[in-house]
Amino acid sequence: AQTVTQSQPEMSVQEAETVTLSCTYDTSESDYYLFWYKQPPSRQMILVIRQEAYKQQNATENRFSVNFQKAAKSFSLKISDSQLGDAAMYFCAYRSAGGGSNYKLTFGKGTLLTVNP
Amino acid sequence: SAVISQKPSRDICQRGTSLTIQCQVDSQVTMMFWYRQQPGQSLTLIATANQGSEATYESGFVIDKFPISRPNLTFSTLTVSNMSPEDSSIYLCSVQSRFTDTQYFGPGTRLTVL
């Protein structure tokens, strides 16, 4: 079974600074997807960014980018120019490629990000 | 992305009662899922809601406790039966987009059992 580990229960960053959240995963599969979701206090799960394992290029969405190291099974999230609205719980998630039960998402325990003004 | 609504957004229930949570999506989707998020914890998949057939449950979750219906491609319900305080959690519905190959989540239902 796949596992996802987020080793940082909490992180803090100053507004306008950059922060990196860590995620590692364990799998024997070669094709899969990785995601970062954000959950603010409103509890809505919001997709931040996704990465296909077969793509070597790291995904980028505006101020959010990932460092995907497939051999090391590492998938970190970098937030640049942090804003107060970035404060939330961030979850890393894994999903096998393919259909059927493979659509199941496996989540890490989350990292609580605080943004200080 | 799909627009997903859940009702109720929150509820406080008495031990031994049941609560049905509704999930509505604004477009037809192939896959719908129900997750549980216990206080301070991550999300755990309860089951995949299958249209027109019985849901597929994950290990540790059973149909008698969490009956699920999905009468069509845009609607599903999750019932939490014979509730105990340990069932106090956020319950989230999600859908798999066939266009972006990504799961999107509803706003969640916060359940408190006294």
CB-based contact, B105 to chain A, within 8 Å: yes
* Residues in Cβ contact with A84 at an 8 Å cutoff, skipping those fewer than 6 apart: A15, A115, A117
Of B31, B42, B92, the CB nearest to A103: B31
Task: Please answer yes or no on whether A43 and B107 come within 8 Å at the CB atom.
Answer: yes
Q: Would you call B42 and A108 a contact, using CB atoms and an 8 Å cutoff?
A: yes
* Confidence (pLDDT) at A99: 60
Cβ contact A105–B103 (<8 Å)? yes
Q: Tens of pLDDT along A30-48?
A: 899 999 999 998 888 999 9
Nearest CA in chain A to B37: A43
Q: Which residue has the higher pLDDT, B2 or A63?
A: A63
pLDDT, average across residues A73-85: 97
> What phi and psi values does residue B84 have, to the nearest 5 degrees?
-130, 165
Q: Do A44 and B107 touch (CB under 8 A)?
A: yes
pLDDT category of residue B78 using cuts at 50, 70 and 90: very high
Residue B88 has pLDDT above 80, yes or no: yes
Which of the four pLDDT bands, split at 50, 70 and 90, describes residue B40? confident
